[in-house]
Amino acid sequence: MRVYFTADNQAEERLQKTFSQIIDTLNDSGVLVMSNLANRNLVGWPTQDLEKIEQSGESMIEKMDALIIEGTRPLAESGYLIAIALAHHKPILYLCLKDKIINQNLIHLKKDHQAAKLLNLEYYTVKNLNEILVEFLRKIETGEGKETPNIKFTLRITSRIERYLQWKTHNTRLTKADFLRELIEGLIDKDKDYQNFADKE
Amino acid sequence: MTASNFMVIPRKKIILFICHQSASLRPQDWQEPMADLNIIADVEPVLLFTQPSADLTPQTWFRLAKEIYQRLNKAEGFIVLHGIDNILYTSSAVSFLLQNLNKSIIFAGVKSDQPDSRKIEIRANLINACQTATYKLPEVCLMFGNRLIRASQSVESNDASLNAFNAPLSGTLGRIDFSVRIYDKAVFNPKGKPKLFDSLNEKIQTITLSPLIDYKNLASQIADKEGIVVNANSYRNLPTELINFLSKKAADLPVVIWNQSFKDPLFLPKNIITIQNMTWPTTVTKFMWATGVAKNPKAVKELMAKNIAGEIIS
């Protein structure tokens, strides 16, 4: 899963520590984080892929599974990022330290049915921050704004497996890829060790 | 969360001119993204033209420039929603009609033919244009896909990319990744106050060179014209008959020959202007502007050589 995280890179040290905590929590949960914070912008993107994206005319946010904004200090570009993420149906987590003030323009968005599904406004404390992040990741995977399969993965198979997949999906509505995806989703649901790992994170 | 937890941040005002309507770009296609645009700025839509952009004429270019000029002090920036057809002519014409800009005029539209992808594309292009318009870039630009390019240096792209237009490096003003990144060094910085020109000379004859040109017929066509623009882009040398024709029949008219690949020196009559460093729509619209303001062919030649709005490709 790829997430774009943005925050005020001029914020005071106390907030900078929180930003690091957010990135660490996401990384520990197996999420690839891209961010406007120093040295994080295009981490994990091969130059070749970046060139392809540039040529295709797509924006980078299209390649993300979600957007997380730490908005305790107002960000000039947060409105733009929220708008473009909504346009591409990406789930958004807007975080703000408890007792701080959130831009009222955002609350109008929550009145919009489609936007409300994707936009999550959350107050946090250092104590419950991890919990909020993990809950958001779970929501992306299972709830509203469920992630769409957009990660390309090359899998080489034997002719025996190919024959089986062909037989299994013949005369069904499923493609071979759908069948494999459903199979893996089933494995994830049944894997108690993984559930424990995910809950712990 | 309670209401007291929210603060109101004043937003910049952006005006969105609607200059195209067709079966594939209906009012709801720009009305639906308004909620998204209003997160970024206070966007006011203004319906200017309800015909497809293929039907737009020089009169509509002037009306658009005038409408923008009248609102220059009322908004931070301007977006023009326009169909792909004629967009290079309209935007180039606006570059010459509205000079010394101090704010952005961003042309946006949609390229895709697929109904589902069109919806997302128009939304994304308008959002990107809206964010860019808040930056007060003194340029007339195009925003399609992930590129912000100067309108007067743009050419249509034939590939399947969402970048509907291309521009050379000198006309590439920015790109979109996770935000709109502006290349400050490429931005044209005009001096002086914004100025609206109220005329474009429509008595211009455009000729696309081919072996089928009937020079006798052409002579009658140019009888009441005040300028000629020849598209000779597919030629390496000019036909002798054309040179003779221009020397005799067009001796008193300003004449432009547009060709981006001439290499050898051309021996042409004095009044003929050769243009290699501009696009075709820009050459035509600049010539219409120049013949409208200059009093003689020599002055037209000087204006055509001058970089008016960053249109000259370096």
Split chain B (314 residues) into runs of 10 and give each run's mean pLDDT. 49 92 81 86 92 90 96 96 95 96 94 79 94 93 96 91 92 91 87 90 93 89 91 88 83 88 71 91 97 90 93 92
A 10 A CB-CB count for A148 gives 9
Domain segments of chain A as ranges: 2-142, 159-200
Whether B171 maps to a domain, the answer reads yes
Q: Going by C-beta distance under 8 Å and a sequence separation of 6 or more, which residues neighbour residue B103?
A: B72, B75, B76, B77, B78, B133, B136, B137, B138
Same domain? B32 vs B143: yes
Q: Going by C-beta distance under 8 Å and a sequence separation of 6 or more, which residues neighbour residue B168?
A: B153, B313
Question: Quick one: pLDDT at residue B227?
Answer: 92
Residue A88: closest C-alpha in chain B: B120
Q: Using CA atoms, how far apart are residues B148 and A30, in angstroms rounded to an integer?
A: 35
Query: Which residues does chain A have within 8 Å of residue B123's beta carbon, measured at their own beta carbons?
Result: 87
CATH number (domain holding residue B110): 3.40.50.1170
Q: Using CA atoms, how far apart are residues A72 and A17, in angstroms rounded to an integer?
A: 13
Residue B34: closest C-alpha in chain A: A83
Q: Do strands B42-47 and B6-7 pair parallel, antiparallel, or not at all (unpaired)?
A: unpaired
Least Cα distance to B25 among B105, B95, B94, B126 occurs for B126
Residue B10 near chain A (CB below 8 Å): no
What's the order of all strands across the beta sheet hosting B104-108?
A: B42-47, B13-18, B77-81, B104-108, B140-144, B147-150, B172-176, B180-182
Whether B311 maps to a domain, the answer reads no
Q: Do A54 and B175 touch (CB under 8 A)?
A: yes
CATH number (domain holding residue B238): 3.40.50.40
Q: Residue B44 CA to chain centroid, in angstroms?
A: 22
* Structural domain boundaries enclosing B48: 9-195
Same domain? B37 vs B167: yes
C-alpha angle with apex B127: B126 to B132, nearest 5 degrees? 95
Same domain? B283 vs B181: no
Domain boundary among B195, B224, B246: B195
DSSP state of A29: T
Residue B123 near chain A (CB below 8 Å): yes
Same domain? B65 vs B206: no
- For domain A2-142, the CATH architecture is 3-Layer(aba) Sandwich (3.40)
What's the order of all strands across the beta sheet hosting A119-124?
A: A32-35, A2-6, A66-70, A92-97, A119-124
For residues B141 and B150, the answer to whether their CB atoms sit within 8 Å is: yes
Q: Using CA atoms, how far apart are residues B251 and B77, in angstroms rounded to an integer?
A: 44
Whether B310 maps to a domain, the answer reads no
Domain boundary among B195, B214, B244: B195
Whether B228 maps to a domain, the answer reads yes
Q: Using CA atoms, how far apart are residues A97 and A69, in angstroms rounded to an integer?
A: 12
Residue B176 near chain A (CB below 8 Å): yes
In which element (H, E) is residue B223 found?
A: none
Residue-wise pLDDT tens digits, A113-172: 888 889 999 999 989 999 999 999 988 887 655 556 766 777 888 989 988 988 888 877
Whether B3 maps to a domain, the answer reads no
Whether B4 maps to a domain, the answer reads no
Q: Do B162 and A57 touch (CB under 8 A)?
A: yes
Q: Using CA atoms, how far apart are residues B146 and A98, in angstroms rounded to an integer?
A: 36
> Which residue out of B7, B38, B39 would a mutagenesis test of the A interface target, given it has the greatest number of A Cβ atoms within 10 Å?
B39
Same domain? B169 vs B235: no
Same domain? B130 vs B111: yes
Domain count, chain B: 2
**pTM as predicted:** 0.84
Burial (0-12, 13-18, 19+ Cβ within 10 Å), A30: exposed
Q: Going by C-beta distance under 8 Å and a sequence separation of 6 or more, which residues neighbour residue B309?
A: B95, B96, B99, B101, B140, B152, B188, B190
Interface of A with B (CB under 8 A): 4, 6, 34, 36, 41-42, 53-61, 74, 77, 79-84, 86-88, 101-109, 112, 115, 121, 123
Question: Quick one: pLDDT at residue B265?
Answer: 63
Same domain? B288 vs B157: no
With H, G, I as helix, E, B as strand and everything else as coil, classify residue B149.
strand
Q: Is the dihedral of CA A165, A166, A171, A174 positive or negative?
A: positive
> Which residue out of A33, A80, A103, A117 would a mutagenesis test of the B interface target, given it has the greatest number of B Cβ atoms within 10 Å?
A80
Residue B180 near chain A (CB below 8 Å): yes
Measure in Å the smallest separation between the Cα of A189 and chain B Cα atoms: 32
Split chain A (201 residues) into runs of 10 and give each run's mean pLDDT. 91 90 90 81 71 85 92 88 92 91 78 85 91 91 64 82 87 82 86 78 57
Question: Quick one: pLDDT at residue A85?
Answer: 94
Burial (0-12, 13-18, 19+ Cβ within 10 Å), B223: exposed
Question: Quick one: pLDDT at residue B103?
Answer: 93
Rounded to the nearest 10 degrees, the angle between the axes of helix B87-97 and helix B58-70 is 50
Domain boundary among B177, B195, B213: B195
Q: Going by C-beta distance under 8 Å and a sequence separation of 6 or more, which residues neighbour residue B9?
A: A74, A103, A104, A105
Same domain? B130 vs B183: yes
Same domain? B94 vs B25: yes
A 10 A CB-CB count for A63 gives 18
Q: Do B128 and A6 touch (CB under 8 A)?
A: no
Same domain? B149 vs B220: no
- Say yes or no: ipTM exceeds 0.90: no
Q: Do strands B147-150 and B255-258 pair parallel, antiparallel, or not at all (unpaired)?
A: unpaired
Q: Do A59 and B124 touch (CB under 8 A)?
A: yes
